[in-house]
Each structure stands twice: as C-alpha cells, then as structure tokens.
Amino acid sequence: MTTAVLAPSAPQPITIPLREIVPWAILTLLLALLAIYFVGAEEGATSIFQGMYIHEWVHDGRHLLGFPCH
C-alpha cells in the first residue's frame, strides 16, 4: 500500500507598493531626526527650550550613544 504525500507549495512573496511605504518611511525619518536632535543637540546655543530639562531627561542616552555633553 502506498500513500501519496503532497509537498506544501512555497509561499508567494508579499509585494508592498512603494506608495504605501513612503509615508511610513518619512514619518520614521522625521521621528529619528527629532530624537537625534533632542539627544545630541538640545543644550546651550542650539537649545529650543529654556533650562536644562530636556538635557537632563536624555542625559544618560547621550552618554550611551557617545555624544559629549560636559
């Protein structure tokens, strides 16, 4: 007695149109640039906010990423 075994077919790759990726890529880029600004440059002459609140909030992240701060 023999039994036939069907091999599963390879799944088809999912195609995502570029028009669906672009808005998410732009949003991700803007958020990354904003995060890099606050971690890397929000102090002293380039400060947008008065005081050292933002600097102190991201202080450990600055050292972790290698940004000099003092």
pLDDT digits 0-9 by tens, 25-57: 999 999 999 988 888 887 777 778 787 788 788
* pLDDT tens per residue across span 8-17: 788 888 888 8
Confidence of residue 1 (pLDDT cuts 50, 70, 90): low
- The set of residues, in sequence order, having a beta carbon less than 8 Å from that of 62 and lying 6+ positions away, is 39, 40, 68, 69
Q: Do residues 54 and 38 make contact, with C-beta atoms less than 8 angstroms apart?
A: yes
The rounded distance, in Å, linking the Cα atoms of 52 and 55 is 5
38 token code pair: 């606050």
Q: Is 54 exposed, middle or buried (0-12, 13-18, 19+ CB in 10 A)?
A: middle
